């Protein structure tokens, strides 16, 4: 009877040393006498105490905040940029053996890559082309972390913080751009109007009846405004006739 008691006590004490339970999203990288001997899990696994050790690795997607980084854009604007990184371990063996701490290594690599990629672009591109920048950063990180057995699923730039003085300068630049566009549109309108007026003048010059109709339209327009002044347009030929009658005769 005492033997079974001793066995039960020994099992309770020694059980946690050689029996391990891994969840569905966990794997164990097992080392035997310090040498890699395999990846086990999920479920119940048995380890030989002292002889074997294990490193527990999660396979779920990890969400990591990339700290705010000081970035100088290609047009020499200083900004602070932070991002969020989504990655997961796809090869537990390499994640443990190839790098000392894959969490810290991935974080440091993400910070340096964020500064390097954004530093090649101007401020306007940082603000307007975030999707493209996210893809560029994700592609670079995924290629470099592949040797560690890590898959970078996505990178999202969260905030681009600009100095207050720079915000005012950007506002002035935007206002100047709006004024420039307004002047260009006004000039184009004047150009189109002058072209139409020139075409109308050519038509009226070729047809005398058209000129008379234009006189009548002008008279109707003046009369519709309830003015007390009445204007009677006279043809130029009619005025020339009076000028010839009253003028000196040439012998």
Q: Across residues 19-36, what is the average pLDDT?
A: 94
Tell the residue number behind the tokens 């234009």, with chain if given: 214
For the chain, what is the largest distance between any 2 Cα atoms, rounded to a whole number of angstroms? 162
User: Which residues lie below 8 Å from residue 158, measured CB to CB, with a gap of 6+?
Assistant: 82, 83, 84
Task: Please report the pLDDT score of residue 75 as a whole number.
Answer: 85
The rounded mean pLDDT for the chain is 82
Query: Residue 72 pLDDT more than 70?
Result: yes
Confidence tier at 141 by pLDDT (50, 70, 90): very high
Residue with the bigger pLDDT between 133 and 208: it is: 133
Confidence tier at 251 by pLDDT (50, 70, 90): very low
Task: Please report the pLDDT score of residue 11 as a whole number.
Answer: 53
Task: Please report the pLDDT score of residue 181 as a whole number.
Answer: 86
Task: Please report the pLDDT score of residue 211 as a whole number.
Answer: 62
Task: Please report the pLDDT score of residue 76 as a whole number.
Answer: 86
Tell the residue number behind the tokens 């915000």, with chain if given: 167
Query: Residue 217 pLDDT more than 80?
Result: no
Helix, strand and coil percent figures for the chain, each rounded to 5: 55, 25, 20
- Would you tell me which CATH number, out of the four given (3.30.479.30, 3.50.50.60, 3.40.50.2300, 3.40.50.410), belongs to the domain 62-162? 3.30.479.30
For the chain, the domains span 9-58, 62-162, 165-206, 218-243
**100-135 residue pLDDT tens:** 999 999 999 999 999 999 999 988 888 889 999 999
Instruction: Dump strand ranges (E) for 13-77.
Output: 19-22, 26-32, 35-40, 43-46, 52-58, 62-72
User: Which residues lie below 8 Å from residue 150, measured CB to CB, with a gap of 6+?
Assistant: 87, 88, 89, 90, 95, 102, 106
User: Which residues lie below 8 Å from residue 106, measured CB to CB, with a gap of 6+?
Assistant: 64, 85, 87, 141, 145, 148, 150, 152
Confidence tier at 94 by pLDDT (50, 70, 90): very high
Report the distance separating Cα 47 and Cα 38, nearest Å.
12
Query: Residue 15 pLDDT more than 70?
Result: no
Report the distance separating Cα 60 and Cα 26, nearest Å.
8
């Amino acid at each position: 009877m005492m033997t079974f008691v001793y066995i039960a006590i020994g099992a309770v004490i020694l059980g946690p040393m050689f029996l391990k339970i891994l969840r569905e999203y966990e794997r164990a990288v097992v080392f035997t006498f310090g040498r890699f001997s395999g990846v086990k899990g999920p479920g119940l696994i048995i380890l030989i105490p002292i002889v074997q050790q294990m490193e527990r690795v999660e396979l779920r997607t990890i969400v990591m905040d990339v700290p705010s980084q000081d970035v100088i854009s290609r047009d020499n604007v200083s900004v602070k940029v932070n991002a969020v990184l989504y990655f997961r371990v796809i090869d537990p063996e390499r994640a443990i053996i190839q790098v000392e701490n894959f969490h810290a290594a991935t974080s440091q690599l993400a910070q340096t890559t964020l500064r390097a990629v954004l530093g090649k672009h101007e401020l306007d591109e940082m603000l307007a082309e975030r999707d493209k920048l996210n893809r560029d950063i994700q592609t670079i990180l995924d290629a470099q972390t592949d040797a560690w057995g890590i898959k970078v699923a996505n990178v999202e730039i969260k905030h681009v913080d600009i100095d207050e003085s720079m915000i005012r300068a950007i506002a002035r630049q935007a206002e100047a751009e709006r004024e420039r566009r307004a002047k260009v549109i006004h000039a184009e309108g004047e150009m189109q109007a002058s072209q139409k007026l020139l075409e109308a003048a050519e038509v009226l010059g070729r047809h005398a009846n058209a000129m008379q109709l234009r006189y009548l339209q002008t008279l109707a327009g003046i009369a519709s405004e309830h003015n007390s002044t009445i204007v009677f347009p006279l043809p130029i030929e009619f005025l020339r006739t009076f000028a010839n009658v009253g003028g000196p005769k040439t012998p």
